[in-house]
Structure 1
Amino acid sequence: MTDSLVLGPMMRYVDLTSASIWVETRRAAQVTVAAGQRTWTARTFGVHGHHYALVEVDGLEPGSVSEYTVSIDGELVWPEEGSTYPPSKIATLAPGKPIKMAFGSCRTSVPHNEAGNGKHGVDSMRAYALNMANGVDDVAWPDLVVFLGDQVYADVTSDAMQEFIMTRRDITEEPGEELKDYEEYAHLYNLAWSDDANRWLLSTLPSAMIFDDHDIRDDWNTSLKWKQSMEETSWWQGRIVSGLGSYWVHQHLGNLSPQNRADDEIWQVIAAHHGENELDISDVLDRFADRANRQPATYRWSFAREIGDVRLVVVDSRAGRVLDPDKRSILDDQEMDWLDGQMQGGFRHLLVATSLPFLLPAGLHHIEAWNEALADGAWGRFGAKIGEKMRRTVDLEHWGAFQRSFRTVARMAVEVADGLRGPAPETVTFLSGDVHFSYVSEVERTSGSRIIQAVCSPIRNPLPRAMRFATAILSYGVASPVGALVARSAKVPNPPFRWSGLKGPWFDNNLAGLQDGPDGLRFWWERGIVVDGDHLSPKLEQVSTVTVSPRTSAAGAGSSQH
């Protein structure tokens, strides 16, 4: 058994003819991926004592499925000796194949035993992985899994993470049990991705990722006062630099296509190195992360890609916020212009993935819009203080709390749906997480494309049962009429359209899926369940399904729940 491979391999960006495979190694090395009779190699680059490589596998056949292995300095390290999991595979996209993908957010990394499952619930990602591993038809596997934020929790740490922190520093001093530097982030990612089943899943299922607040800290960029309070601490500068730097290495790098990677400023530094010794990019990465935090417009974390006749747009709704109360926006001008260019028709479906739900339950949306007006002085200076306190205490910081940008994106979505930006797609669908309950909503329209919001949260981090009832009442009960009333009292304009729920809410740990088919866009949510006390081998159970049919179909929207 070798210890040369620390983490991975992770299957990241995959298209018709290429794949990107990410690894962390124990030391500086050359990494080789072999599939069939061909091999591809890459040297590691160093970051704060850690070693990473991204191997670019190219020249593949569209629609092909190839088993692969990984070697480090000539030593076979993957698959691991004695592994009971199927061989990891590179499955390129097939022309004309309808999209099938999984998505979800919010996953804590704790043991999968009875105690861990008792507190955090069964890891739906692990159940999904075991179901894939035990299946015989890999053709039915998704083309992609999209993780919509909170892959790691830098602020609410597990016992295992705290034990590691205590080996390095006094945990009673700031930032205490929260993460401080790159070394701690690297360990946190190791805890998140080293479980055997999930590690196998990530080695064979292509993934795309975007951060949310807990990847950095709860309520990240909620308001200007929140940011100012963080900057007054002794530890925030180290946290944000290590958080963004480690995010680029562990998550963002693998999101990029070969073309976009070639244009990336950090990758260009790595690609330009041709020496025999490993390139250490620690200083370059730290300076980049510091600048990206101070000047968000200088770097884009959002990305887009086309999979067959579907466009997927993944939007950063955290790092580039405009927090000036007079100009408050969830996206800065450069990011909004970029999104404006991506919001086009001419596809069967336009999927817009944003960690925060674009369409909250209407009652919550109204309350957030009212709170923003309150914080901006609609009820005077005293009301503004109350509004700011509420915004930070109750997490009122979704799209509804940034009305300027909400209305701008809503207009874009309607224009796409009405065929004003190219041929109208069947759906404009927002995919989101964050809120720790799942649901499907639809904008009330009688013509044009259907505008859908589908949410899957959490993968593993459920709300306490006592909070579920309150959340449901606030989301779907009294909050709707009360929220609309208080929003009007602060002279908040009505939303540009109305929306209502198709299905939900449900509060299980879930991983969701979607698949395009002749009947429309089908969604499903699946959870893990423990059978006969076997906590390490949960079974996969379907929670609910919804099929969104084209508007021209008489079938409309159908759903079934299990």
Structure 2
Amino acid sequence: MASPPLLLGPMLRHTDETSASVWVETAEEAVVAVRADDREWTSRTFIVHGHHYALVEVDGLAPGSVLPYRVFVNGEGVWPEVDSPLPHPVIATLSPQRRLRMAWGSCRTSVDHDAAGNRSHGVDAMRTFALALSEDESLRPDLILLLGDQVYADMTTEAMQEFIRSRRDIHEPPGKELKDYEEYAHLYSLAWSDDANRWLLSTLPSTMIFDDHDVRDDWNASLDWKKQMEATSWWHGRIVAGLASYWVYQHLGNLSPSARAQDEIWQLVAGHSGPEELDLTETLDAFAARVDQEPRTYSFSYRRDFGDIRLVVVDSRAARDLTPTARALVDSTEWEWLDGQLEGGIRHLLIATSLPFLLPIGLHHVEAWDEAISQGAWGRAAAQIGERLRQMVDLEHWAAWQNSFQSLARIVTDIADGKRGSSPETVMFLSGDVHFSYIAEVDREGGGRIVQAVCSPVRNPLPILMRWFSVVMSYGLARPVGAIVARSAKVPDPPFGWSTLKGPWFDNNLSVLQDSPQGLELTWHKGVVEHDERHPRMEEVSRIVVAPRGSAA
């Protein structure tokens, strides 16, 4: 059977007041056209490892416009699909008069949405939101921010394993994990091709950043971890495929038109005028290998401004400095960029980092202690135990990189105190990864509020036993005991304290952040099955308004 002309997408990616980008994967070489408002924009495909892609740059739009659009591949209409029960997809540009509304979350596995899938992985919160939006346009956010683990390259589903078995011996390394670009391409197809989520991503702008499972659990947790991986027969192929496919499927669409124009890979695409389809395979593989070994040569972080709200999306995985004497969650080049984005003079500063900056404080102390002993605070034998603990129970968030944590804590305190321009009402970290959700705030009396919000998972709940483990590690006795052991390893105290405002809860969630006159309103939503497994009802899990300090809200 011949493949349909459109294999994946369209995905509506970076969208601003006057432009939008539409990403697709096609079955063969093609000219892809987007038509809206009696206009047409086109792009030729490029090829990576036998797969064909295009990103169509749609420009000259009016701010605040809502335009139904269609996609054509070599002149054939391919989207929206004929007889689709879902609404026509639209390109909705930003309006300077509209307050920011953003959906966000992290950690989503791709299994079927039938009773078995819902029983094993819970109801997909993103798909639930898609169905609710299809019935109520008033729910539409300006974009959706996906904060890591969009795909799981190491914890594969039965459907992914079936594909792996069709092309290699699954009993040979790397077994059920992904090996190469072809397998990544199939994994992304599984993640984004079900009906409701595919429609959602075609009509709602998306922006993304990776976390560890997009490549492998504990990716770049330490130099020891990296040496273990590099000693295998398969890791080089995996990291090259992971980063190359990430550039194609996720990072390219994050870029604004001006950032794309400066991107070293996109310049080759935009500048290609030959008769043959541009093959980026060798170039992209070499780029991925270089970025893995020399992360300072490329940045996956980026920034978005929405009026007087700034969103800074931080790569906290690929840009690490693993040198034992200079450990940093973001290396010096990335840090210089990040430092330049973090300033006052705006109303709200949103810092999106897949790993929570403010963990529950008991867990924070435990991770800081583990880093210290892993680095030799208690001797060589304890260091080996600390390294095993770090990898076994994922003790590698910001707290486990104390130099980076302390430096960023000082910066956000200065911002909130008005030392980097006028103080924002809120400095808010948005994070995922930990598979439970909560909101915490730094204990302080004056200046702007410093808040940590977490939404995790979208669809990958912790087993009950692991939930209890997370609570024990994070709360109750973990706080005083963690502080004692951290001090015993001479870990410096955090520059401030913080407390949980709400949480934790363990549902599959998608959160919505709404800028309102009262402050930043955050809601978390889950899916509830009543009669039809594939059509869950959206239910609110929690709500909080982070009001400006001194406000009556």
TM-score, normalised relative to structure 1? 0.97
Q: What pairs with 1:217-366 in structure 2 (closer than 5 Å)?
A: 217-366=216-365
Q: What displacement does 1:508 show?
A: 0.1
Match of 1:549 in 2: 547
Q: What displacement does 1:473 show?
A: 2.1
Q: Partner amino acid for 2:539?
A: E
Alpha-carbon distance in 2 for matches of 1:131, 1:508: 18
Match of 1:10 in 2: 11
Q: What displacement does 1:553 show?
A: 0.8
Match of 2:503 in 1: 504
Match of 2:25 in 1: 24
Alpha-carbon distance in 2 for matches of 1:554, 1:371: 42
Match of 2:39 in 1: 38
Match of 2:400 in 1: 401
Secondary structure at 2:69 match in 1 = strand
Q: Is the 1:13–1:256 Cα contact (8 Å) retained in structure 2?
A: yes
381-390 or 77-86: bigger deviation? 381-390
Q: Is the 1:97–1:308 Cα contact (8 Å) retained in structure 2?
A: no
Q: What displacement does 1:305 show?
A: 1.2
Q: What displacement does 1:136 show?
A: 4.1
Q: Partner amino acid for 2:257?
A: P
Percentage identity across aligned positions? 64
Q: What displacement does 1:96 show?
A: 2.5
Asked if 1:186 is matched to 2:176, the reply is no
Secondary structure at 1:326 match in 2 = helix
Alpha-carbon distance in 2 for matches of 1:281, 1:468: 44
Q: What pairs with 1:128-207 in structure 2 (closer than 5 Å)?
A: 128-137=129-138, 140-207=139-206
Q: Partner amino acid for 1:318?
A: R
Q: Is the 2:7–2:26 Cα contact (8 Å) retained in structure 1?
A: yes
Q: Deviations over 1:94-113 (max 9, x none)?
A: 01211100110000000000
Q: Is the 1:352–1:430 Cα contact (8 Å) retained in structure 2?
A: yes
Alpha-carbon distance in 2 for matches of 1:154, 1:328: 26
Asked if 1:62 is matched to 2:63, the reply is yes
Where do 5+ consecutive residues of structure 2 fail to align?
A: none
Alpha-carbon distance in 2 for matches of 1:308, 1:352: 16
Match of 1:522 in 2: 521
Asked if 1:74 is matched to 2:72, the reply is no
Q: What displacement does 1:17 show?
A: 0.1
Q: What displacement does 1:470 show?
A: 2.2
Q: Is the 1:223–1:323 Cα contact (8 Å) retained in structure 2?
A: yes
Q: Is the 2:147–2:352 Cα contact (8 Å) retained in structure 1?
A: yes
Asked if 1:214 is matched to 2:224, the reply is no
Match of 1:449 in 2: 448
Asked if 1:83 is matched to 2:81, the reply is no
Alpha-carbon distance in 2 for matches of 1:114, 1:346: 50
Q: Is the 2:3–2:27 Cα contact (8 Å) retained in structure 1?
A: no
Match of 1:368 in 2: 367
Q: Deviations over 1:395-438 (max 9, x none)?
A: 10000000000011111101110111111111000000000000
Q: Is the 2:389–2:395 Cα contact (8 Å) retained in structure 1?
A: yes
Secondary structure at 1:289 match in 2 = helix
Q: Is the 1:127–1:539 Cα contact (8 Å) retained in structure 2?
A: yes
Alpha-carbon distance in 1 for matches of 2:76, 2:310: 40
Alpha-carbon distance in 2 for matches of 1:350, 1:158: 37
Alpha-carbon distance in 1 for matches of 2:275, 2:206: 31
Secondary structure at 1:130 match in 2 = helix
Alpha-carbon distance in 2 for matches of 1:325, 1:220: 16
Alpha-carbon distance in 1 for matches of 2:304, 2:414: 20
Task: Provide the aligned length of Structure 1 versus Structure 2.
Answer: 552
Q: What displacement does 1:519 show?
A: 0.6
Secondary structure at 2:253 match in 1 = helix
Alpha-carbon distance in 2 for matches of 1:92, 1:234: 47
Q: Partner amino acid for 1:360?
A: L
Q: Is the 2:350–2:428 Cα contact (8 Å) retained in structure 1?
A: yes
Q: What displacement does 1:497 show?
A: 0.5
Secondary structure at 2:325 match in 1 = coil
Match of 1:93 in 2: 94
Secondary structure at 1:329 match in 2 = coil
Match of 2:467 in 1: 468
Alpha-carbon distance in 2 for matches of 1:425, 1:125: 30
Alpha-carbon distance in 1 for matches of 2:290, 2:256: 23
Q: Partner amino acid for 1:64?
A: S
CA-based RMSD of the aligned residues comes to 0.9
Q: Deviations over 1:478-528 (max 9, x none)?
A: 211110010011111110100000000000000001111111110000000
Match of 1:434 in 2: 433
Q: Deviations over 1:40-66 (max 9, x none)?
A: 000000000000000000000000000
Q: Deviations over 1:106-156 (max 9, x none)?
A: 00000000000000000000100000001143xx41001100000000000
Q: Is the 1:103–1:147 Cα contact (8 Å) retained in structure 2?
A: yes
Q: Partner amino acid for 2:259?
A: N
Where do 5+ consecutive residues of structure 1 fail to align?
A: 556-562
Q: Partner amino acid for 1:520?
A: G
Q: What displacement does 1:277 show?
A: 2.1
The runs of at least 4 aligned residues of structure 1 exceeding 2 Å deviation read none
Q: What displacement does 1:2 show?
A: 7.8
Alpha-carbon distance in 1 for matches of 2:505, 2:453: 12
Alpha-carbon distance in 2 for matches of 1:469, 1:392: 19
505-514 or 270-279: bigger deviation? 270-279
Alpha-carbon distance in 1 for matches of 2:256, 2:137: 30
Secondary structure at 2:198 match in 1 = helix
Q: Partner amino acid for 1:130?
A: L
Alpha-carbon distance in 1 for matches of 2:14, 2:182: 26
Q: Partner amino acid for 2:228?
A: S
Match of 1:538 in 2: 536
Q: Deviations over 1:33-86 (max 9, x none)?
A: 000110000000000000000000000000000000000010000000110000
Q: Deviations over 1:3-38 (max 9, x none)?
A: 100000000000000000000000000000000110
